[in-house]
Amino acid sequence: MTDNITRPEDNVQLKNVIAHAKEYGFVYQSSEIYDGLQAVYDYGPYGVELKNNIKDLWWQSMIKLHHNIVGIDAAIFMHPLTWKASGHIDSFNDPMVDNKDSKKRYRADVLLEDKAAEYESNGEPEKAKALIQKMSRLLVKEDLKGVHDLIVNEDIRCPVSNTANWTDVRQFNLMFSTQIGSVADDANAIFLRPETAQGIFVNFLNVQKTARMKIPFGIAQIGKAFRNEIVARQFIFRMREFEQMEMQYFIRPGEEIKWYEQWKEIRINWHKAMGIPDTKLRFHDHDKLAHYANAAVDIEYEFPFGFKEVEGIHSRTDFDLGNHQELSRKKMQYFDNEINKSYVPYVIETSAGADRLFFMVLSNSFREEEVGEGENKKTRSYLKIHPGLAPVKAAIFPLVKKDGLPEIAKKIYNDLRFDFNLIYEETQSIGKRYTRQDLIGTPCCVAIDHQTLEDDTVTIRERDSMEQVRVKVDALKDEIGNRVSIQNILKEIA
């Protein structure tokens, strides 16, 4: 995938988003006290809520909005032959190259893509295009010597040693392996799944029969995947342990283009419904098709470092089921009684990364705005996350910590906690409390003040506009619910 050019001001924005994610409890480096583990991250209290909401939206939009899609939760470990059948043992590789002086390892294609980006930013787009085309041709032919020579001819140097003293380019398999059982020999080696899709394929017949599914139908799954990525860059964009949300749609052979187009449309609309603007989303057709696909497109989002893939839509033909049939010797056929024929179904896959979508939502919602006049002018930071996805839905504040206001506020909190994820806070000035909620993207702040004692009303302060409206305590549940319900997004998608 080509890296787009990074503008200096965008780098600042990226740094701000990353710093914000850490400082306000969204994402931490894994094992930070031991100086961290590269490309592995942990989600903090607000991060886990946001990520769960994104996964929940995906799950509900697949399972609830489609009568013919059902879910599964397959194990991470699978029989080793699975990965032979899927092609991952033979071709799930990235070309890598080491610099002999710095001993640093790089992805050969990324070095060339960075060089092309450099041409692009120097106003030489033709040179950039020619380089990418040359590289793609060599990679398709698996001409690794050619890739090495291209790196040398382009005078690409290691950013650490500044030399062009490169090793040969080699293929590096991205799967992690481990042993199962107590005997450590090769026969017991198994892999951590590099994609969730295979758990769906091997269960195709189980699900079709037990849930009595008729083609076309889909199987959806959310789960962890593991890839030993050579270059881990850009925060949670490329991780070694991540989560996928995949759906395989089983169809009649020959109908793949119709369904492929339909799923492209459904999926891009899903991203828009989360509040991602049209202008920041685009389709990017694959130049180099993966070993399993006959058509493939990425949905890309414009991150601060350029347009990048967040989801792939792939027409996988009968590649996977066909290979599993061959290796397992179990029939993967479906009898289609409408046309009175048996066949191995074709598959359209939608494959999104939960972590990349999280990064997209966070980047898209991060706001720094000037507010106030003259001496009171200051920068306001807040997260404009779609209220349906926000980690905390409402914060409940007594204006002051006396006059019976905390008691009323606590009662409201206790009544509403069954419906919403809430925060209760009574210390510090109300201004500071509002600011803290802005920083984690809480859409509603409810303040209990002296007027509450008189007429049973409270204020709701809306995050984006900072406007306040007074509502009856009795109406609070509906008022908040109407604003923050995930169903609002689902209705927009349906």
Which residues lie near ligand ATP (CB under 6 A)?
1, 195, 227, 229, 238-239, 242, 244, 309-312, 351-353, 355-356
Q: Could you give the angle at the alpha carbon of 78 between the alpha carbons of 73 and 79, nearest 5°?
A: 145
* Smallest separation, CB 177 to ligand ATP (Å): 17
Angle between helices 125-140 and 144-153 (to 10 degrees): 160
Residues contacting residue 59 through CB under 8 Å, at least 6 positions apart: 71, 220, 222, 245
For residues 384 and 465, give the distance between their C-alpha atoms in angstroms, rounded to a whole number. 10
* Smallest separation, CB 236 to ligand ATP (Å): 7
* Smallest separation, CB 376 to ligand ATP (Å): 42
* Smallest separation, CB 111 to ligand ATP (Å): 16
Q: Nearest to residue 433, comparing CAs of 421, 417, 420, 448?
A: 448
Residues contacting residue 454 through CB under 8 Å, at least 6 positions apart: none
The burial class, CB within 10 Å (0-12 / 13-18 / 19+), for 310 is buried
Residues contacting residue 261 through CB under 8 Å, at least 6 positions apart: none
If you search the block for the tokens 């549940």, which residue do you land on?
477
* Smallest separation, CB 4 to ligand ATP (Å): 13
CB 268 within 8 A of CB 278: no
For residues 266 and 264, give the distance between their C-alpha atoms in angstroms, rounded to a whole number. 6
CB 129 within 8 A of CB 203: no
* Smallest separation, CB 268 to ligand ATP (Å): 13
- Three-state DSSP at 297 gives strand
* Smallest separation, CB 153 to ligand ATP (Å): 25
**H-only helix segments in 344-485:** 354-365, 405-416, 430-440, 450-455, 476-484
Distance from the Cα of residue 359 to its chain's centroid: 7
For residues 16 and 376, give the distance between their C-alpha atoms in angstroms, rounded to a whole number. 23
The residue (of 304 and 312) whose beta carbon lies closer to ligand ATP is 312
The residue (of 239 and 447) whose beta carbon lies closer to ligand ATP is 239
Is the preceding omega at residue 277 within 30 degrees of 0, hence cis?
no
Q: Could you give the angle at the alpha carbon of 221 between the alpha carbons of 312 and 203, nearest 5°?
A: 110
The residue (of 94 and 256) whose beta carbon lies closer to ligand ATP is 94
Residues contacting residue 418 through CB under 8 Å, at least 6 positions apart: none
* Smallest separation, CB 175 to ligand ATP (Å): 12
The residue (of 26 and 434) whose beta carbon lies closer to ligand ATP is 26
List, as own/partner pairs, every contact residues 283-286 make where C-beta atoms lie below 8 angstroms and the sequence separation is at least 24, other chains included. Answer: 284/309
The residue (of 58 and 382) whose beta carbon lies closer to ligand ATP is 58
* Smallest separation, CB 33 to ligand ATP (Å): 23
Number of residue whose CB is nearest ligand ATP: 353
Q: Name the DSSP class of 344.
A: P
The residue (of 166 and 292) whose beta carbon lies closer to ligand ATP is 292
The residue (of 41 and 434) whose beta carbon lies closer to ligand ATP is 41
The residue (of 256 and 311) whose beta carbon lies closer to ligand ATP is 311
* Smallest separation, CB 309 to ligand ATP (Å): 5
The residue (of 190 and 352) whose beta carbon lies closer to ligand ATP is 352
Backbone angles phi, psi at 297, to 5 degrees: -140, 150
CB 445 within 8 A of CB 384: no
* Smallest separation, CB 271 to ligand ATP (Å): 12
Whole-angstrom CA distances from 241 to 185, 310, 406 are 25, 16, 44
The residue (of 137 and 224) whose beta carbon lies closer to ligand ATP is 224
The residue (of 148 and 271) whose beta carbon lies closer to ligand ATP is 271
The residue (of 260 and 397) whose beta carbon lies closer to ligand ATP is 260
Strands (E), 129-254: 170-173, 177-179, 189-191, 217-226, 241-251
Backbone angles phi, psi at 29, to 5 degrees: -65, 140
* Smallest separation, CB 201 to ligand ATP (Å): 15
